[in-house]
Amino acid sequence: MEAPVMKLSILAMVVLVIAAMEFEPTNGFGEPICGMSVSELLACEPAVVKPPSKPSPSCCRAIQKANLPCLCKFKGADNPLGIPIDPALAMQLPTTCGVVPSFTC
């Protein structure tokens, strides 16, 4: 009896994880966070966590269309995806990607 319950529990967790991956956090008006979808935010994750790696082309494309001042409100605060973002690395992304010559919040 325990095996079917365990399998059902695991299946439910997998469904929840997949559903969570498809969920796009919004600002309450159905828009992605600061003009970026979850997948675009996640594309930048390797560049904003320690040890950082060079931002990917998909990350830089996302940064180009992002609302940078909007992203500033997440600096030093809990971010919507729970990623351990290094604020100093995040502040460098617009310049590293060549979007702006310099950037500060």
pLDDT in tens, 51-94: 999 999 999 999 999 999 988 887 766 666 677 888 899 899 99
Backbone angles phi, psi at 32, to 5 degrees: -60, 165
pLDDT for the residue 17: 29
Band of residue 15 on the pLDDT scale cut at 50, 70, 90: very low
Indicate the SS3 state at residue 80: coil
Would you say residue 16 has pLDDT above 50? no
All structural domains of the chain: 37-105 (1.10.110.10)
Angle formed by the axes of helices 87-96 and 57-65, nearest 10°: 90
Residue 100: partners with Cβ closer than 8 Å, 6 or more residues away? 68, 94
Query: Is the pTM above the cut of 0.85?
Result: no
Once rounded to an integer, what is the mean pLDDT over residues 40-51?
93
DSSP per-residue codes, 4-57: HHHHHHHHHHHHHHHHHHH---BSSSSPBBTTB-HHHHHHTHHHHSSSP-PPPH
More confident residue, 31 or 19: 31
Cis peptide before 51 (omega within 30 of 0): yes
pLDDT for the residue 33: 86
Contact 23, 33 (CB under 8 A): no
Would you say residue 7 has pLDDT above 60? no
pLDDT for the residue 94: 95
